[in-house]
Amino acid sequence: MRSCFPCLHEKKEAWNKVKDIVILSMFSHHTKLVRGSGVLEMVQYGFAQLCSFKHLADLNTLQKDVITAQIAEPIPILAFREYIRKHSEEFETWLYRNLSSVHYNASCAGFLFEPCLTIPLVELFNAKSCKEHNLFTNIKNIDKLNLLTYEATIRNFDDRNSSIFSSNGTMKDGFNLPAFLNNPTTAFFMPENEAGPDLVCIIEFHTPNGIVEVPLFLQSKLVKDSPNSTAGSTTDPNHFYHHGEKRTELKENLRREVLDCLVSKYCKAHELSWIRFLVVFPAEAKSESEYIIHDRTKRTVASYYNYSIANELMIVIDPSNAELFFSSFGHNVLKELKRIAVNDELEFERETKKIKTSN
């Protein structure tokens, strides 16, 4: 498998499609539709297999140069993951270029923005002390959080036997947020829409007394207008499953399962129960980073644990500190998206004025 990479590199169309299908497979298990030159080579080298056309017949999308493809064996993804460990710039470039190509489509841009955020998270928690990172400078009360002095990593990120980089959640009859927290099998998890956060991972702090695991809940807002002050509540476990048209018994039960899991499995670090991330761009956030401390006097028994007094670290990323979180390449791409959005808005205003004038 490793020897085929040089051959594919020489065939640009095939190599681009390999990156498309393999990287998307790391974040989604849905069947991919690919077309054009290069598809035959991609199948030939074992990165994809032909699938049934039956489900596409009604869509009238069949053409002679179109195939549906999926990866049935994990070997191609494992091989590619090893490749991108040594060529991480290709992985980052692919994600941000695809994000740029769909800037006009809010739902597509949002879907691609979340995988982009895995890159700075991996870099931030990359086997070193978080307190050495400039992002944590000047955060209120941060000097009281000793856990950040220890090396931190993301659980399962270095699992070379896993072909899945990020898993997806479904609320009913599936692998939902409580299930992931109870048994994290991938480095990242994209919960079901009703849960609240967009991205979840488990941070491992390597202390002298052993590993302390702390869940991280992230919400991303790729928006032009500042979100309201309650945007951060989607990363607060006390408010999980409050989203959608109505509150149901199922949602309440899932929220309770999340909170019970946090108590039973992750209460080891009493100085930090969970980490919350709010990433907003190009708009500015209405909240600030803060280490929130609550008094836990006489509350050491898990069964008497009060969810509302959990200590939490809230990290807010927006244009004011984005350069500290994103790579220079990623930050430049986001700034370019902001410029495009501003230009599109100005063009829309000009066209609107012309219409009004002509009337």
**pLDDT (tens place) for every residue of the chain, 359 residues total:** 556 666 667 777 777 777 776 666 666 655 555 555 666 666 666 666 655 555 544 444 444 445 555 555 556 666 776 776 677 777 777 777 777 665 555 555 666 788 888 889 988 998 888 888 899 988 888 988 989 999 999 998 887 666 677 888 887 767 899 999 999 988 999 998 888 899 999 999 999 989 999 999 999 888 877 887 677 788 999 889 876 667 788 888 889 999 999 988 887 667 888 999 999 988 888 888 999 887 654 444 443 345 556 789 999 999 999 999 998 888 888 887 777 666 655 454 455 555 555 55
Specify whether the backbone of 254 is left (phi greater than 0), alpha (psi in -120 to 50) or beta. Answer: alpha
Sheet-wide strand order for 32-35: 32-35, 66-70, 49-50
Please give the angle made by the CA atoms of 55, 57 and 63, to the nearest 5 degrees: 120
Give me the pLDDT at residue 29, please.
56
Beta carbons of 286 and 229 less than 8 angstroms apart: yes
Q: Report CA-CA distances (Å) from 120 to 29, 191, 315, 328, 330.
A: 23, 19, 13, 11, 9
Give me the pLDDT at residue 78, please.
66
Please give the angle made by the CA atoms of 108, 95 and 234, to the nearest 5 degrees: 55
Q: Which residues contact 83 (CB under 8 A, 6 or more apart)?
A: 2, 5
The phi, psi pair for 27, rounded to 5°, reads -115, -15
Give me the pLDDT at residue 97, please.
74
The model carries a pTM of: 0.76
Give me the pLDDT at residue 264, please.
87
Farthest CA pair distance, the chain: 75
Beta carbons of 209 and 147 less than 8 angstroms apart: no
In terms of Cβ atoms closer than 10 Å to its own Cβ (0-12, 13-18, 19+), residue 21 is buried
Structure tokens, 358: 């002509």
Give me the pLDDT at residue 346, please.
47
